[in-house]
Chain A
Amino acid sequence: MIQVDNIQKRFAEQEVLRGVSFQVRQGSITTLIGRSGAGKSLLLRHLIGLDQPDIGKILIDGKDIVGMTTSELNTIRRRFGVLFQDGALFDSMSVRDNVAFPLKEHTKLSENEILDKVRQKLELVGLLSHGGKYPSELSGGMRKRVGLARALALGPDLVFFDEPTSGLDPITRGAIYRLIENTHIDGEITYFLVSHDITGVMAISDEVIMLHQGKIIAQGTPEDFRTNPDPVVQQFLLGSPDGPIAID
Chain B
Amino acid sequence: MAIPFEFGYEKPATIADALHLLDKWGRNARILAGGTDLANELKQGFRVPELLVDIKGLDALEKIKVLDDALHIGALVTFDMVRNSQLVRDHAYILYEAAGLVASSGVRNRATVVGNICSAVACMDSAAPLLVHDAVVHTASLEGEREVPVQDWFVDNRKTLVGEKEMVSHVSIPLPKIKHAGAYQKMMRYTGEDLAAANVGVLLMEDGACRVAFGSVGPIPRRSPEIELFFEKNGVNARHIDQAKDMIGGIISPITDVRATKEYRMHMTKVMFVRAMHAAVERLKKQKI
Co-complex (A, B): no
Residues of B near any A CB (own CB < 8 A): none
Residues of A near any B CB (own CB < 8 A): none
